[in-house]
């Protein structure tokens, strides 16, 4: 099973989804990429995931072009921008999904509020990807 998760910057939401899917089943090949990859991970995302015991600090922020020639069981966009500009993977993707989330890196306010936004989005990502894994992916393994 090969799954590609796309976001715009590949620094936050796609990285968290990548971390969760990999934690559900280490035998799944999960990659994440950005339509405009930032080249670095958002420290808030790394911290939020560490709080639930998942280390994504070793992940890399990669451009989607790195994966265009690969075949995928799933390509999943997690932000509206990536969904709109998602490259065509014609003939190489079995299933294309969009599961959108707010971008916690755009949160403005106190450090406590910003951390709470990363936690909220982390929780939403975990719930959505757990449901996808339990209800659809696991049956295909």
What Cα–Cα distance (Å) separates residue 138 from each residue in 11, 46, 96? 26, 26, 17
Handedness of CA 135, 53, 36, 104 (dihedral sign): positive
Rounded Cα–Cα distance for residues 77 and 6 (Å): 5
> Catalytic one among 52, 86, 107, 114?
86
Say whether 31 is catalytic: no
Contact 45, 16 (CB under 8 A): yes
Rounded Cα–Cα distance for residues 60 and 98 (Å): 22
Rounded Cα–Cα distance for residues 116 and 40 (Å): 21
> Catalytic one among 16, 56, 79, 82?
79
> Catalytic one among 4, 5, 6, 7?
7
Say whether 79 is catalytic: yes
Catalytic residues: 7, 79, 86
């Amino acid at each position: 099973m090969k799954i590609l998760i796309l976001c715009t910057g590949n620094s936050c939401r796609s990285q968290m989804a990548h971390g969760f899917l990999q934690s559900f089943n280490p035998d799944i090949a999960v990659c994440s990429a950005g339509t405009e990859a930032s080249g670095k991970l958002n420290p808030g995302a790394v911290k939020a995931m560490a709080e639930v015991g998942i280390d994504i600090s070793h992940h890399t922020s990669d451009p989607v072009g790195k994966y265009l020639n690969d075949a995928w069981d799933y390509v999943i966009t997690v932000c509206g921008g990536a969904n709109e500009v998602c490259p065509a993977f014609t003939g190489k993707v079995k299933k294309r999904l969009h599961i959108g989330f707010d971008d916690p890196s755009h949160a403005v306010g106190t450090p406590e509020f910003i951390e709470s936004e990363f936690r909220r989005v982390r929780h939403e990502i975990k719930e959505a990807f757990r449901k996808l894994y339990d209800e659809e992916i696991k049956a295909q393994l």
